Amino acid sequence: MPGIVIVGAQWGDEGKGKVVDLLAEQADAVVRFQGGNNAGHTIVRDGEEFKFHLIPSGILYPDKLCMIGNGVVLDPRILLDEIDGLKRRGIDVSNLRISANAHLIMPYHVLLDTAGEVRLGKLSVGTTRRGIGPCYADKALRLGIRVQDLLDEKILRKKIMAALAFKQQALRELSVQRRKLRKEAGEGAREGADPSVAAAPDPRLDLHSLTEEFAGYGHRLEPHIADTARLCWEALDGGHTVIFEGAQATLLDLDHGTYPFVTSSNPIAGAATVGAGIGPADIDQVWGVAKAYATRVGAGPFPTELEDEAGRHMLERGHEYGTTTGRERRCGWMDLVALRYAVRLNRMDALTITKLDVLSGLDPLLVAVRYRSREGAIFDQFPYHQSILHSVEPEYEELAGFDLDLSECRSEADLPAQARAYLDFIADFAGVPVRLVGVGPGRDQVVWVGQSAD
Ligand code: IMP
């Protein structure tokens, strides 16, 4: 099975990094195909913790090719920090390849992201403020700057110059609007307190220094820049296994998620084709990763959200704080209506259920099996209409909980009957087998269900 896509089945932070890390053991290459450093993967290897935002999770294996595909938006400063951090810890990064076609997150993208969120006020998306949306917007506007542009200072300067004029104007307008709003709200005294909306020209947006700074990144990244699509074809055509690593998750998908409370890329399996440069027939398997409960960071509908003791239990026992922003994640029961939607949308072959250990001590365990609208209409399927999704109430099935600490379980037989029944219920409802279960953060803290991956 040479092409395997791994995607998040919920709202992100499902533990995809750990699953990729485990499956990568039997793969030859790992490719990220969308998103940027809004993502955060934590991998615990021999008690040592590694946090990645951009580098594919397979980097801890010295013999795997790790690629950042063309669909990724890349902040070169963050990437270089990650490379340096890994080198300091003795990890070889010579197998890292970066697509020459990937787009760069520029400082003005980060400023615009923050300024846009501030401008939206109560309507803000709750982005990670890493410049993801503005960077993808520039890509669509054909004003983007790509990795390959770093290699020619003349071209780089021209492209930055073309983009910069619009950005400075947009930032100025956002700043003026913001000041007007503050004045109306009688907040004149605090004016200018927010550096993200400071009046342009911003010294961080000086053409000359930006060009120099980015050309410098180009020199450092040059050994890693490659035609990653071709490298994928060579691996796949040679019968090697390639893992396509999704970031974020299905319900944050720009087209199919809970728009506008989504990210600006397509984190679903189909997007691996565009974001890595392969054909649909190159994908042999799609694995979805879901937590045993649900979490969400940022704003947007979340039907099964809890604001009670059970939610607190998930937050604390599951250490539900963002890897990228440190924000507290919203927690709730497993939403099977949303999961079944994600299974179909990605045409998943298998599910991985992570953090099952976190549910220990909760009884009963609730799983949402349908929604009810304010008017009493029943939704067995994930509703496409945003206003409906915002106001639905979940209807739950109650399943028996368990008290056993699962962190030492390594086989299905070690799991309590209630935990197995919980997994069976999820698999039956979603219509795909659960193949792997996470019972702790460690690499070895997993239970293979049925047969193992090999
Ligand atoms: P952006 O991707 O920074 O534009 O943020 C858009 C939405 O996606 C916000 O609700 C973020 O909290 C969410 N988001 C982006 N990346 C991740 C992630 O890796 N995990 C969970 N949520 C994310």
Question: Over 70: is that where the pLDDT of 187 sits?
Answer: no
- Between CA 74 and CA 153 the distance in angstroms is 18
Please write the tens of the pLDDT for every residue from 287-337: 999 999 999 998 999 999 999 999 999 999 999 998 777 889 999 999 999
Is 126 near ligand 1, meaning CB less than 6 Å away? Answer: yes
User: What is the rounded average pLDDT of the residues 93-105?
Assistant: 97
Is 70 near ligand 1, meaning CB less than 6 Å away? Answer: no
Is 130 near ligand 1, meaning CB less than 6 Å away? Answer: yes
Q: How far is CA 286 from the centre of its chain?
A: 16
- Between CA 321 and CA 77 the distance in angstroms is 24
Residue 67 is inside which H or E element, if any?
strand 65-68
| Closest ligand 1 atom to 300 CA | 10
CA of 113 to the centre of ligand 1 (A): 12
- Between CA 184 and CA 340 the distance in angstroms is 47
Name the more confident of 166 and 204: 166
CA of 41 to the centre of ligand 1 (A): 13
Name the more confident of 192 and 110: 110
Is 75 near ligand 1, meaning CB less than 6 Å away? Answer: no
The pLDDT, as a whole number, for residue 204 is 77
- Between CA 83 and CA 77 the distance in angstroms is 10
Q: What percent of the chain has pLDDT over 90?
A: 82
CA of 38 to the centre of ligand 1 (A): 6
Which residues, other chains included, contact 260 with Cβ-Cβ below 8 Å and sequence gap of 6+?
125
CA of 132 to the centre of ligand 1 (A): 9
| Closest ligand 1 atom to 39 CA | 19
CA of 410 to the centre of ligand 1 (A): 32
The pLDDT, as a whole number, for residue 201 is 61
What string of DSSP letters covers 123-135? G-----SSSHHHH
Question: Over 80: is that where the pLDDT of 189 sits?
Answer: no
Active site residues: 13, 41
Is 362 near ligand 1, meaning CB less than 6 Å away? Answer: no
Which residues, other chains included, contact 290 with Cβ-Cβ below 8 Å and sequence gap of 6+?
8, 9, 10, 14, 334, 339, 342, 351, 352, 353, 354, 426
- Between CA 395 and CA 81 the distance in angstroms is 46
Backbone angles phi, psi at 115, to 5 degrees: -60, -40
Question: Over 60: is that where the pLDDT of 191 sits?
Answer: no
Asked if 179 and 132 touch (Cβ cutoff 8 Å), the reply is: no
- Between CA 211 and CA 114 the distance in angstroms is 23
Q: Of 2-11, 45-54, 126-135, 390-399, give the lowest mean pLDDT range.
A: 45-54
User: What is the rounded average pLDDT of the residues 168-177?
Assistant: 79
- Between CA 126 and CA 299 the distance in angstroms is 5
Please write the tens of the pLDDT for every residue from 408-431: 999 999 999 999 999 999 999 999
Average pLDDT of the chain?
Answer: 92
What is the dihedral angle through the alpha carbons of 142, 146, 151, 156, rounded to the nearest 10 degrees? 40
User: What is the rounded average pLDDT of the residues 39-65?
Assistant: 88
The pLDDT, as a whole number, for residue 451 is 63
Is 295 near ligand 1, meaning CB less than 6 Å away? Answer: no
Pocket test of ligand 1: the residue of 136, 262, 297, 305 to mutate, having most ligand atoms within 8 Å of its CB, is 297
Determine the 3-state secondary structure of 295 from DSSP.
strand
- Between CA 231 and CA 99 the distance in angstroms is 10
Is 132 near ligand 1, meaning CB less than 6 Å away? Answer: yes
Is 39 near ligand 1, meaning CB less than 6 Å away? Answer: yes
Residue 181 pLDDT grade (very low, low, confident, very high; cuts 50, 70, 90): low
Question: Over 60: is that where the pLDDT of 192 sits?
Answer: no
Backbone angles phi, psi at 402, to 5 degrees: -140, 155
Atom 20 of ligand 1, nearest CA residue: 12
